[in-house]
């Protein structure tokens, strides 16, 4: 199984946690945040009791509290003093009737007070903040985090696709860096030279998860060029169905942006003529729809397709 070293990043995160910082770990999807968290939990064994909870797929406040308590109980089984105190707290403070986020305030205060009485250091890991589906309840969720953070022996590590305003938590920020050509060459013996490594890094935009999938294809096909073709072919059945979600103009605009990869002015006369897109007013509406649905995004270098896999598949499809 191919692997890409993240030792430097792991050590940086470890040092900051041991320095008792709260951290927001952020970066695009598949950049390696979950992988780093798994490594970090292993490295922190014996130094922090880690409670992990993803906020993905939570459909109600009661589901959130139930799954959080399940995670607490599971980890508490490894520590006798924690298991006893937690069981006593839950007996005295039932959570099964808590339905709304604002009802949980005193419960979290009690949990914090209970954990503060235990001579252990705790790290609460909340992953996928950006996937919390109840935007109106995010302030209350943040209040829960703040309650936990009042304890001297509790730290927070939160992950998101983007930087968030967690200033009320006195939170530091750590952006997961993309994989570089040099790192890929050092980590993977099957990469033959710097040019090949650079091609793969550019193709995946330095994304750890996508690079690992491409490396799997290299092992199967024997070459980087064949691996990229094989990888795009693998995506085809899933992505081709997406085409029918768009109007004809939206799809042609998406295809044109993917072909150029970065577009400074997608409603400029030259771009419209080059890709035969028609009236600027219609393209402006299509651009807004694609942007609102997060299919494209505006960066410092210009407009691009948000998902690098979709970008590469469209380029492959129309090459």
pLDDT at 190: 80
Q: What is the pLDDT of residue 10?
A: 95
**At residue 40, does pLDDT exceed 70?**
yes
What does the pLDDT read at residue 96?
86
Please tell me the pTM assigned to this model.
0.80
pLDDT given at position 265: 93
Residue 93 has pLDDT above 90, yes or no: yes
DSSP the chain: ------HHHHHHHHHHHHTT-EEEEE-STTSSHHHHHHHHHHHTTTT-EEEEEE-TT--SHHHHHHHHHHHHHHHHTT-HHHHHHHHHHHHHS--TT--SGGGGHHHHHHHHHHHHTSSS-EEEEEE-GGG-S-GGGHHHHHHHHHHHHTSTTEEEEEEESS----GGGTEEEEEPPPPPHHHHHHH-TT--SHHHHHHHHHHHTT-HHHHHHHHHHHHHHSSHHHHHHHHHHHHHHHHHGGGGGS-HHHHHHHHHHHHHS-BS-TTSHHHHHHHT---HHHHHHHHHHHHHTTSEEEETTEEEESSHHHHHHHHHHT-
**What is the predicted pLDDT for the residue at 128?**
94
Predicted local distance difference test score (pLDDT) of residue 273: 96
The confidence score (pLDDT) of residue 1 equals 55
Would the pLDDT of 282 be above 90? Answer: yes
Residue 35 confidence (pLDDT) above 90: no
Domain boundaries, the chain: 7-175, 179-241, 246-319
Say what the pLDDT of residue 2 is: 66
The answer to whether residue 103 scores a pLDDT higher than 90 is no
Q: If pLDDT is split at 50, 70 and 90, which confidence band does 187 have? A: confident
* Per-residue pLDDT band at 37 (split at 50, 70, 90): very high
Give the pLDDT band (50/70/90) at residue 253.
Answer: very high
User: What is the CATH number that goes with domain 246-319?
Assistant: 1.10.10.10
User: pLDDT for 158-176, tens place per residue?
Assistant: 999 989 888 888 899 999 9
pLDDT at 296: 95
The pLDDT value given to residue 255: 96
Model pLDDT, residue 121: 97
CA atoms within 13 A on the CB side of 7: 6
Quote the CA–CA distance of 298 and 311 in Å, as a whole number. Answer: 14
Share of residues in the chain with pLDDT > 90 (%):
74
Average pLDDT taken over every residue of the chain: 92
Listed range (24-33, 118-127, 195-204, 257-266) with the worst mean pLDDT: 24-33
Name the pLDDT band for 278 (thresholds 50, 70, 90): very high
Is the pLDDT at 3 greater than 80? The verdict is no
Q: Which of 135-144, 147-156, 237-246 has the highest mean pLDDT?
A: 147-156
Domain range 7-175, its CATH number among 3.40.50.300, 3.90.1150.10, 1.10.150.20, 3.30.470.30: 3.40.50.300
């Amino acid at each position: 199984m191919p692997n890409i070293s993240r030792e430097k990043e792991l050590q940086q995160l470890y040092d900051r946690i041991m320095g008792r910082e709260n951290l927001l770990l952020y970066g695009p999807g598949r950049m390696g945040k979950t992988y780093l968290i798994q490594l970090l939990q292993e490295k922190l064994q014996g130094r922090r009791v880690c409670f992990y909870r993803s906020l993905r797929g939570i459909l109600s406040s009661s589901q959130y509290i139930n799954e959080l308590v399940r995670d607490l109980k599971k980890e508490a089984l490894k520590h006798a003093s924690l298991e006893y105190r937690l069981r006593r707290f839950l007996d005295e403070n039932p959570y099964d009737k808590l339905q709304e986020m604002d009802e949980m305030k005193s419960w979290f205060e009690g949990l914090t007070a209970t954990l503060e009485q235990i001579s252990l250091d705790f790290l609460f890991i909340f992953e996928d903040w950006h996937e919390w589906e109840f935007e109106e309840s995010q302030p209350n969720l943040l209040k829960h985090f703040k309650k936990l953070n009042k304890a001297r022996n509790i730290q927070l590590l939160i992950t998101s696709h983007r930087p968030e305003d967690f200033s009320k938590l006195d939170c530091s920020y750590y952006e997961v860096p993309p994989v570089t050509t040099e790192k890929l060459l050092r980590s993977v013996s099957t990469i033959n030279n710097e040019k090949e490594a650079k091609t793969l890094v550019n193709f995946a935009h330095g994304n750890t998860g996508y690079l690992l999938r491409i490396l799997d294809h290299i092992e199967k096909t024997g070459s980087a060029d064949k691996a990229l073709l094989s990888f795009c072919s693998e995506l085809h059945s899933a992505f081709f169905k997406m085409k029918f979600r768009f109007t004809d103009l939206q799809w042609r605009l998406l295809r044109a942006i993917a072909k150029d990869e970065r577009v400074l002015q997608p409603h400029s006369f030259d771009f419209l003529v080059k890709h035969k897109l028609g009236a600027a007013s219609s393209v402006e509406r299509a651009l807004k729809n694609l942007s609102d649905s997060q299919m494209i995004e505006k960066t410092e270098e210009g407009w691009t397709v948000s998902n690098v896999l979709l970008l590469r598949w469209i380029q492959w499809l129309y090459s």
